[in-house]
Chains A and B, each alone.
Chain A
Amino acid sequence: MSHDVSIKAKSTSHKHIIFEILYKYGTIITIVLLTFIFALAANNFLQGDNILNILRSISIVTIIATGITLSLTVGGFDLSVGSVASVSDALALSAFVWYSQDTLVGILAALAAAGVCGIINGFLIVKVKIPDMLATLATMFILQGLALSYARGATISQNMVMPNGNFAMGTIPSFFINLGQTPWIIVIMLCVTLAVHIFLTYTKHGRYMYMIGGNLEAARLSGIPVNRYRILAYFLAAILAGIGGIVLAARIQTTEINAGAPYLMDAVAAAYIGFSVGGAGKPNAFGTFIGGILIGILQNGLIILSVPYYAMDIVKGLVLAFALTVTYYKKKF
């Protein structure tokens, strides 16, 4: 890579080098700039509490975004992650509140459901050959509806009124609630990011997935079992979305209607912003984490600056456009 850059640098102007740097470090530069601006504008921005606050606020988005990243590596796309998170959120809480199960059962039930969703996605995309975006759009609706129907259109929470008029007897274990608090929620996010980073970068399975995303036919003719790996990618994406849902359940302890859905768009943004971080040029877990941080800082800073909530999306969109500009503008050269 460095060899490549030096050849280009000789033949083209400084302008080109600037774009190279912007491409590789644009996201990080944006983060530094934003931090600087927010720190100047509000002196509590850089305090330890607030930094933990930011990390906590991005953890669910980042976990779900890592799932999307996995689907992107095989050249696919998973729109259903938000709904999968809703499903596992509902399952985990219902296991505690309705059926008085312990933490392990709740978590396993939620993960199993997520895994099944992922395999269905993989089956529709790989075997039935529905384009990824459309297949997961369909499952997004289905799962959203399933999560809602399962909760009977209501929210699941402790002491809720059951259809027979009694109060729900189960309680949410305190160990489970802890998972949604600082520092555990941050630790979970960091572990997920690290695990997926190792999986994608240092195992042959990750390498195969990137190769499939890079050139499906060449991967197939190199003897890689491409269908198996594509299904695996959607399976893992759903498992991560499931983890996101579990953490969400631990965090808010109720199932709001479509609780997972709002995370979808932020997660997509984080995953795409992550492409360029450090010059990777492809979906990667570390970049996705950085993308999550960018979104988190922005949201947090804007709240501290008392930007009205209804105007926040404008700034968010603008910064997103800027981050993507430095990533994609380079491709002209």
Chain B
Amino acid sequence: MNTTIKNTLTMEDISIEFPGVKALNQVSFSLESSTIHALIGANGAGKSTLMKILAGAYNHYTGHIRINGREVVIKTPKEANRLGIHIVYQEVDMALIPNLTVGENIMLDKLVNNMDGQHFINWQTIHKEAQAILSRLHININTKKLISELSLAQKQMVLITRSLSNQCRFLILDEPTAPLSHHETKELFRVIGELKKNDVGIIFISHRLPEVFAVCEDVTILRDGEIAAKDKLVNFTQNQLVEKMLGRTLVENFSKPPVIIGDTVLEAVDLCTADKLHNINFTVHSGEIVGIAGLVGAGKTELCKALFGAESLTAGKRLLYKQPLNFSSPHDAVTAGFALVPEERRKEGLFVEESIATNLTIANLTACCSYKHFISPKAESQVAKRMIERLDIKTPSQQHPAKNLSGGNQQKIGIAKWLLQDANIYILDEPTKGVDVGAKKDIFDLIGKLVATGKSILYASCEINELLKITDRLYVMYDGTIVKELKTNGTNEEEILFYATGGL
């Protein structure tokens, strides 16, 4: 290596507040070129916030950022780019223009900002320069291809290449491996290695600890907006990292009513989908709350949707009361007694512009109809009133649009609409995401009541402490498959996180 000066980046005493939350408190962080630095922490620890500050996404932080000892101010993404700091977010599609070629996307910054009064584009040069950067990283993608033709992994490569077109000194990769397959991950690591040879300092955010050990040298662990530890990675074992990531565990009181767990209701045998899931096996009994634990990107949402018929299976079967289910649409799933409360509440669960009453009755409108087809406003309003009271939904009126409610109350609607349908199997995907403590308790209580009447609950979440509180049994997912089945009574957060991060 023939580097003369090593670039250093330091962040000191960084704090940032959002309305009501102190997201980061006096956090310090440092990075050198030609190193790969892991940034890890549980959900909500502040990893993404810290990196967004560095990338110029926020302008109201306090503290100092220095590059090579000189203080710099980063308030906009453009300033960050000018200093050679680039970030590749998880949502790669947001940053790329799908109907332009790879070459144009790589050279986008030059095309937009550095044309220096030129009005004609020399396509040959654009593609040649793009190709040059790609070959520097030994990436084999044709620069004339359209972005829309690429796989997700290739899009990531294009983004990484683009940052390099722009004198990249520091590159932030925010959970880059979450959507990648094993093979694609290996390719990404090879490219990261090439970047390292090109004197780039890399911040690698990941939930997958084996990967962290595979590529990183240093590690910084965040917990609840503060630094929990930072050191050379060789000084830690995977278990020690997990311990550092976990803070105090919130003990909230939830007591599941005594329920006799009955017969097998739902059974999955070797479920596979085209892109994510493989060989999923599990069983759910009546009156049982079964947890699906796993980190972001482990495949929980895909599993929930596959069970509900919203994603098609390539292999395997679902058995309901030992009878095979051959449906391929949510409509059939609902008829069979399934209910899904999706993770993306506002996008997939609610009709935000519509009234609360409309939202509450949509899954079983027939119950509010006279002559089977004609909606009876009176019946609809009575049903809505009953649900609002039963779940204690806080709203001025049932004609209020759903968008005006708080996250917790919206989630209650998302669950309540299935109560009318009298579903037997409730699939809840991250039901407490963005829900305040009070509403969370209401939701837990409701789940308790449901299982008391013999319903089955599948509870998918990355909030491990919640899973420990509420489930009877749980399955841990990692990389699209179930890696471990655990009795909730005999396990703890460390063990679950160990399996969820790929420990074997």
What is A's interface to B at a CB cutoff of 8 Å? Answer: 1, 3-4, 202-205, 207-208, 211, 214-215, 217-227
CA distance A261 to B340 in the complex (A): 45
Most buried by B among A1, A207, A219: A207
- B277-317: CB near A (< 8 Å → 1, else 0) gives 00000000000000000000000000000001010000000
Indicate if B443 sits at the interface (CB-CB under 8 A): no
Indicate if B352 sits at the interface (CB-CB under 8 A): yes
| Contact residue among B330, B333, B352, B369 (Cβ-Cβ distance under 8 Å from A204) | B369
- Nearest chain B residue, comparing its CB with the CB of A220: B330
| Pairwise interchain contact B397-A221, C-beta atoms closer than 8 A | no
Binds A, one of B196-204, B225-233, B360-368, B485-493: B360-368
- Nearest chain B residue, comparing its CB with the CB of A214: B351
CA distance A4 to B399 in the complex (A): 10
What chain A residues lie within 8 Å of B335 (beta carbons)? 223
What chain A residues lie within 8 Å of B331 (beta carbons)? 223-226
Interface size on B, residues (CB 8 A): 35
| Pairwise interchain contact A202-B375, C-beta atoms closer than 8 A | yes
User: Distance in Å from the Cβ of A288 to the closest Cβ of chain B?
Assistant: 20
| Pairwise interchain contact A215-B351, C-beta atoms closer than 8 A | yes
Binds A, one of B115-123, B342-350, B383-391: B342-350
User: Distance in Å from the Cβ of A213 to the closest Cβ of chain B?
Assistant: 10
| Contact residue among A202, A204, A218, A225 (Cβ-Cβ distance under 8 Å from B351) | A218
CA distance A222 to B338 in the complex (A): 10
| Contact residue among B347, B351, B373 (Cβ-Cβ distance under 8 Å from A205) | B373
| Pairwise interchain contact B354-A214, C-beta atoms closer than 8 A | yes
With A207-B375, A224-B331 in contact, do A3 and B351 touch (Cβ < 8 Å)?
Answer: no
CA distance A332 to B112 in the complex (A): 29
- Nearest chain A residue, comparing its CB with the CB of B349: A218
Indicate if B417 sits at the interface (CB-CB under 8 A): yes
CA distance A128 to B401 in the complex (A): 34
CA distance A205 to B362 in the complex (A): 11
| Contact residue among A202, A221, A226 (Cβ-Cβ distance under 8 Å from B374) | A202
Indicate if B19 sits at the interface (CB-CB under 8 A): no
User: Distance in Å from the Cβ of B213 to the closest Cβ of chain A?
Assistant: 38
Indicate if B353 sits at the interface (CB-CB under 8 A): yes
| Contact residue among B334, B349, B365, B417 (Cβ-Cβ distance under 8 Å from A207) | B365
What chain A residues lie within 8 Å of B399 (beta carbons)? 1, 3
What chain B residues lie within 8 Å of A215 (beta carbons)? 347-348, 350-352
What chain B residues lie within 8 Å of A218 (beta carbons)? 347-351
Identify 22 residue pairs between A and B in the complex whose beta-carbon atoms are under 8 Å apart, listed by A's number: A3-B396, A3-B399, A202-B374, A204-B368, A204-B369, A204-B373, A204-B375, A207-B362, A211-B351, A211-B354, A215-B348, A215-B351, A215-B352, A218-B350, A219-B351, A220-B330, A221-B342, A221-B348, A222-B330, A223-B363, A224-B331, A225-B329
CA distance A211 to B375 in the complex (A): 14
Shortest 7 CB-CB distances between A and B: which pairs? A223-B334, A225-B331, A204-B365, A217-B348, A214-B351, A222-B363, A203-B373
Indicate if B358 sits at the interface (CB-CB under 8 A): yes
What chain B residues lie within 8 Å of A211 (beta carbons)? 351, 354, 358, 362
CA distance A27 to B166 in the complex (A): 54
What is B's interface to A at a CB cutoff of 8 Å? Answer: 308, 310, 329-331, 333-335, 340, 342, 347-354, 358, 362-363, 365-366, 368-369, 373-375, 396-397, 399-401, 417, 421
What chain A residues lie within 8 Å of B347 (beta carbons)? 215, 217-218
- Nearest chain B residue, comparing its CB with the CB of A216: B348
| Pairwise interchain contact A203-B351, C-beta atoms closer than 8 A | no
What chain A residues lie within 8 Å of B365 (beta carbons)? 204, 207-208
What chain B residues lie within 8 Å of A203 (beta carbons)? 369, 373-375
CA distance A207 to B375 in the complex (A): 9
| Pairwise interchain contact B310-A222, C-beta atoms closer than 8 A | no
CA distance A205 to B373 in the complex (A): 7
- Nearest chain B residue, comparing its CB with the CB of A210: B354
User: Distance in Å from the Cβ of A182 to the closest Cβ of chain B?
Assistant: 32
| Contact residue among A3, A202, A205 (Cβ-Cβ distance under 8 Å from B400) | A3
CA distance A3 to B396 in the complex (A): 9
- Nearest chain B residue, comparing its CB with the CB of A215: B351
| Pairwise interchain contact B358-A207, C-beta atoms closer than 8 A | yes
CA distance A203 to B380 in the complex (A): 12
CA distance A4 to B402 in the complex (A): 12
| Pairwise interchain contact B308-A224, C-beta atoms closer than 8 A | no
CA distance A129 to B80 in the complex (A): 41
| Pairwise interchain contact B417-A222, C-beta atoms closer than 8 A | yes
CA distance A208 to B349 in the complex (A): 15
Given contacts A207-B375, A225-B329, A225-B331, 11 further A-B contacts (CB under 8 A): A3-B400, A203-B373, A203-B374, A203-B375, A204-B366, A204-B373, A211-B354, A220-B329, A221-B342, A223-B330, A223-B333
CA distance A223 to B333 in the complex (A): 7
- Nearest chain A residue, comparing its CB with the CB of B353: A214
What chain B residues lie within 8 Å of A1 (beta carbons)? 399
What chain A residues lie within 8 Å of B373 (beta carbons)? 203-205
What chain B residues lie within 8 Å of A226 (beta carbons)? 331
What chain A residues lie within 8 Å of B358 (beta carbons)? 207, 211
User: Distance in Å from the Cβ of B98 to the closest Cβ of chain A?
Assistant: 15
CA distance A224 to B349 in the complex (A): 12
| Pairwise interchain contact B310-A220, C-beta atoms closer than 8 A | yes
CA distance A219 to B353 in the complex (A): 13
CA distance A207 to B352 in the complex (A): 15
CA distance A8 to B365 in the complex (A): 32
- Nearest chain B residue, comparing its CB with the CB of A212: B351
What chain B residues lie within 8 Å of A222 (beta carbons)? 330, 334, 362-363, 417
What chain B residues lie within 8 Å of A221 (beta carbons)? 308, 310, 330, 340, 342, 348-349
Most buried by B among A211, A217, A218, A223: A223
User: Distance in Å from the Cβ of B331 to the closest Cβ of chain A?
Assistant: 4
- Nearest chain B residue, comparing its CB with the CB of A205: B373
What chain B residues lie within 8 Å of A202 (beta carbons)? 374-375
What chain A residues lie within 8 Å of B353 (beta carbons)? 214
What chain A residues lie within 8 Å of B310 (beta carbons)? 220-221
CA distance A208 to B421 in the complex (A): 16
CA distance A151 to B136 in the complex (A): 66
| Pairwise interchain contact A224-B340, C-beta atoms closer than 8 A | no
User: Distance in Å from the Cβ of B434 to the closest Cβ of chain A?
Assistant: 17
What chain A residues lie within 8 Å of B340 (beta carbons)? 221
- Nearest chain A residue, comparing its CB with the CB of B345: A218
- Nearest chain A residue, comparing its CB with the CB of B308: A221
